[in-house]
């Protein structure tokens, strides 16, 4: 195993800090923020399992730190998660028939379109005042399919939750445990498939304390955000995610 260089160490810590902070604040986004940094010095096979592990670590910590607030919305989480677990193997099967790169590009353009739709939500707010369990389940199932096909499980649930009149804790009660469970399963799959090497474990161990520290800072910022600011953060991250996907696929 190669000795970790100073350059790799700096990139590793920078990605862990940024990814941990965003995950602590928004409940998702470790991969969005960390991969762009880590892929400069790490292979995809190394970076993706580390992202999954750090997403779980950050997610569990942020859930614990916000546990009193998120209780108000936990009853909605199963109707997102159960369909997502059904959708995951469907997405993995579809990967044999579709091109993952083309799917990611389609999702990126859809996220940009969604941003324009979100800006008009005040005119359409009456359509989202009532509970819609079927739509929750559909968002979860679609997230599972996209997670199995393109590792984008959080996109649709985040979009749907941002449109709801829920407060930031009720939204987090869905997104935080949803992403923790889905990414735990993803990491176990990487482990069973032999993608987690000794070098991966070492990089995970180095990123671990940095992720925890900056995740806690992200939670502190989350607590200071108003409900409307939190929704805007989610949509802003959707835009950054879309642009990041487009940049990676075209460049």
Query: 149 Cβ partners below 8 Å, 6+ apart?
Result: 91, 92, 94, 95, 98, 100, 103
DSSP 95: T
User: Which alpha helices (H) appear in 75-167, and where do they start and end?
Assistant: 77-94, 100-119, 121-124, 133-150, 155-163
- Band of the pLDDT at 34, cuts 50, 70, 90? confident
pLDDT at residue 205, as a whole number: 92
Confidence (pLDDT) at 240: 81
**Average predicted confidence (pLDDT) for the chain:** 83
Q: What is the pLDDT of residues 99-139, one digit of tens each?
A: 767 767 777 787 787 777 776 665 555 555 677 889 999 99
- Provide the pLDDT confidence category of residue 233 given band limits of 50, 70 and 90: confident
Query: pLDDT value at position 1?
Result: 44
- What value does the mean pLDDT take over residues 167-179? 89
Q: Tell me the C-alpha distance between 3 and 1, whole Å.
A: 7
Instruction: For residue 83, give both structure tokens.
Output: 């369909």
- Cβ neighbors of 148 (< 8 A, separation 6 or more) are 87, 88, 89, 90, 91, 92, 93, 94, 95
Q: What would the two tokens of residue 208 be?
A: 């671990």
- Which has the higher per-residue pLDDT, 89 or 103? 89
Distance CA 81, CA 106 (A): 24
- Overall average pLDDT of the 42-52 stretch: 81
How confident is the model over 19-41, as a mean pLDDT? Answer: 82
* pLDDT above 90: percentage of residues in the chain: 19
Rounded Cα distance between 38 and 206, Å, is: 13
100: number of Cβ within 10 Å: 15
Provide the pLDDT confidence category of residue 2 given band limits of 50, 70 and 90.
Answer: low
pLDDT at 194 > cutoff 90: no
Count CB neighbours of 87 within 10 A. Answer: 24
What is the token pair recorded at 168?
A: 């930031």
164: its two tokens: 């709801």
Q: Give the span between the Cα atoms of 81 and 197, in whole angstroms.
A: 29
Position 121 scores a pLDDT of: 60
Q: What is the mean pLDDT of residues 160-181?
A: 87
| Prediction pTM value | 0.78
Each as own residue / partner, the long-range contacts of residues 72-78 (CB below 8 Å, 24 or more positions apart, any chain) are 72/167, 72/169, 72/170, 72/173, 73/166, 73/169, 73/170, 73/171, 73/172, 73/173, 73/174, 74/173, 74/177, 76/136, 76/170, 76/173, 76/174, 77/173, 77/174, 77/177, 77/178
Mean pLDDT (whole number) for 141-151: 81
Whether 11 shows a pLDDT value over 70: the answer reads yes
On whether the CB atoms of residues 246 and 105 are closer than 8 A, the answer is yes
pLDDT at 211 over 80: yes
pLDDT value at residue 244? 79
């Amino acid at each position: 195993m190669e000795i970790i260089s100073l350059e790799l160490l700096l990139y590793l810590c920078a990605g862990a800090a940024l990814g941990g902070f965003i995950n602590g604040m928004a409940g998702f986004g470790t991969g969005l923020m960390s991969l762009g940094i880590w892929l400069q010095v790490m292979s995809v096979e190394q970076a993706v399992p580390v992202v999954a592990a750090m997403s779980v670590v950050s997610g569990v910590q942020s859930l614990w730190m916000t546990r009193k607030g998120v209780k108000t919305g936990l009853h909605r989480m199963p109707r997102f998660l159960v369909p997502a677990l059904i959708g995951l193997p469907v997405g993995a099967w579809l990967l044999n028939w579709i091109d993952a790169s083309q799917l990611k590009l389609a999702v990126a353009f859809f996220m940009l379109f969604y941003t324009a739709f979100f800006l008009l939500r005040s005119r359409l707010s009456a359509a989202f005042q009532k509970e819609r369990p079927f739509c929750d389940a559909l968002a979860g199932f679609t997230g599972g399919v996209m997670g199995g096909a393109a590792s984008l499980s959080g996109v649709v649930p985040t979009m749907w939750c941002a449109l709801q009149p829920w407060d930031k804790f009720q939204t987090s009660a869905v997104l935080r445990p949803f992403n923790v469970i889905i990414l735990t399963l993803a990491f176990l799959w990487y482990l069973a498939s032999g993608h987690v090497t000794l070098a991966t474990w070492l990089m995970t161990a180095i990123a671990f304390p940095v992720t925890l520290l900056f995740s806690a800072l992200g939670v502190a910022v989350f607590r200071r955000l108003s409900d409307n600011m939190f929704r805007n953060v989610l949509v802003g991250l959707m835009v950054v995610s879309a642009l990041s996907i487009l940049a990676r696929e075209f460049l």
